[in-house]
Amino acid sequence: MENIALIESFSDFKDNKSIDRVTLMSILEEVFRAALKRKFGSDENFDIIINPDKGDLEIWRNRVVVADGMSEDDNEEIELSEARKIEPDFEIGEDVSEEVKLVDLGRRAILALRQNLIAKIHEHDSTNIFKQFKDLEGDLYTAEVHHIRHNAVILLDDDGNEIILPKSEQIRSDFFRKGDSVRGVIKSVELRGNKPAIIMSRTSPEFLVKLFEQEIPEVFDGLITIEGVARIPGDKAKVAVDSYDDRIDPVGACVGVKGSRIHGIVRELGNENIDVINYTKNEQLYISRALSPAKVTSMEIELYEEERDGKKGRVKVLLKPEEVSKAIGRAGVNIRLASQLTGYEIDVEREGMEDEDVELTEFSDVIEDWVIEEFKKIGLDTAKSILEKDVSMLVQRTDLEEETIINVQKILREEFEN
């Protein structure tokens, strides 16, 4: 009955479907050899025979017979008188195999052995889960809300695997209750200690791509390709699509009649407004389409010798005054997405701007860039356009302090006076 602890351990794990027989036997041998090494100093002269189906174990220690008083290593050598207690006809120089009972390892060693076994099994499971989800990175995945923390939602899939949806990967309008089914993409899988951390995202552009693949058959079949995606999650997105079949209208196929096809995607993303545009290799036309619904009068493109912050160049876009606010969009959303989608820094200028007016960017040496950007967000990109506005109105429409606005107007006014 001394191997009862081992049998109980086998009972716990032998039916675990995630571990095949060969792997289980390898883990068991590794655990027992570690125990033997701690007990005897070496495990090299031991044979371990395991039958995991029955929970049987045999451990045999192999030693060489030496004359009494001549043993230098009790683990590898056995004196003649001791050997003959096992078998009376042993002689010096012969090999002796003696079974080691689990009780010989000691009670504490057996308990430690069982704990080590459990740890190794869990480690194996974690490794398998890590590999499984590493292969799923970038794929659409569905899991159920298990519990909600202040900085993350913890999900469980059908196999009981824990998936983390951090607050930073949630759409602003997302609201979940326990038991809700949640879709996202597997963003990353990391090993934290021995446990895999599976991170889901609903804000990444890949999530929008996967939703298009799921909801629009032509995208899934490869008849329509997605050439670019830019998102401000929960607010607005721009998707550039193309088709190698001239008979297919890629934008019409993605949107559907009266928006029927894209409606499900919009609803999944918390009513995120999605602009679908036709992709083209003609960069001027592509930039014009990206700035939709604004109509561009003309543009000048300056390519950088090397990319700067992920941008390949700068483009100066000329628009009629009534088109400027459309190009920039509410809080600068439209122009930001167009820049992300095309890979260009985009500067907007009004058509017919008076010669004596000065672009706001000309004052970047005395006005901080982030302040200039705040004015640009509401379509004010020249000195006169700001001087013509009332301070209280500018305070309401921007995130700038009154003192900052007064100071900016003072700088601009001095420029014209000079």
The answer as to whether 265 is a domain residue is no
The answer as to whether 229 is a domain residue is no
State whether 116 and 182 are in the same domain: no
State whether 122 and 163 are in the same domain: no
Check which CATH number belongs to the domain holding 189 and give it.
2.40.50.140
DSSP letters along 60-109, please?
Answer: EEEEEEE-TT--S-TTTEEEHHHHHHH-TT--TT-EEEEEPPHHHH-HHH
The number of angstroms, rounded, from the C-alpha of 35 to the middle of its chain's C-alpha atoms is 39
The answer as to whether 397 is a domain residue is yes
State whether 61 and 89 are in the same domain: yes
67: nearest Cα among 56, 77, 53, 54 = 77
The answer as to whether 238 is a domain residue is no
Cβ burial of 126 (10 Å; 0-12, 13-18, 19+) is middle
State whether 128 and 19 are in the same domain: yes
Per-residue pLDDT of the chain (418 residues; tens, 9 = 90+): 344 445 455 545 555 545 666 667 777 778 888 888 888 888 888 888 877 666 567 888 899 988 888 888 888 888 888 888 888 888 888 888 888 877 777 677 767 777 777 777 777 777 778 888 999 999 999 999 999 998 999 999 988 889 999 999 999 999 999 999 999 999 999 888 778 899 999 999 999 999 999 999 999 999 999 999 999 999 999 999 999 888 999 999 999 988 889 999 999 999 999 999 999 999 999 999 999 999 999 999 999 889 888 889 999 999 887 888 889 888 889 999 999 999 999 988 877 654 567 788 878 888 999 999 888 888 888 888 888 888 888 888 888 999 999 999 888 888 766 5
The secondary structure element, H or E, covering residue 54 is none
- Which residue type is seen at 358? V
Which among 166, 184, 202 is the end of a domain? 202
**Cβ atoms within 10 Å, residue 162:** 15
Check which CATH number belongs to the domain holding 21 and give it.
3.30.1480
The answer as to whether 257 is a domain residue is no
State whether 111 and 180 are in the same domain: no
State whether 29 and 114 are in the same domain: yes
State whether 122 and 140 are in the same domain: no
d(CA 19, CA 24): 6
What is the tally of structural domains in the chain? Answer: 3
State whether 128 and 9 are in the same domain: yes
Q: Write out the E strands in 131-285.
A: 140-148, 152-156, 162-166, 181-192, 195-201, 224-232, 236-243, 273-278
Residues 6+ positions from 213 with CB-CB distance below 8 Å: 140, 219, 220
Residues 6+ positions from 131 with CB-CB distance below 8 Å: none
Which among 132, 154, 173 is the end of a domain? 132
d(CA 111, CA 52): 19
Q: Are strands 236-243 and 273-278 parallel, antiparallel or unpaired?
A: parallel
Range of the domain at 156: 136-202
State whether 375 and 414 are in the same domain: yes
The answer as to whether 386 is a domain residue is yes
State whether 14 and 101 are in the same domain: yes
State whether 96 and 142 are in the same domain: no
Which among 90, 106, 132 is the end of a domain? 132
The answer as to whether 230 is a domain residue is no
The answer as to whether 243 is a domain residue is no
In 235-309, where does DSSP find H-type helix? 250-255, 260-268, 283-290
State whether 100 and 160 are in the same domain: no
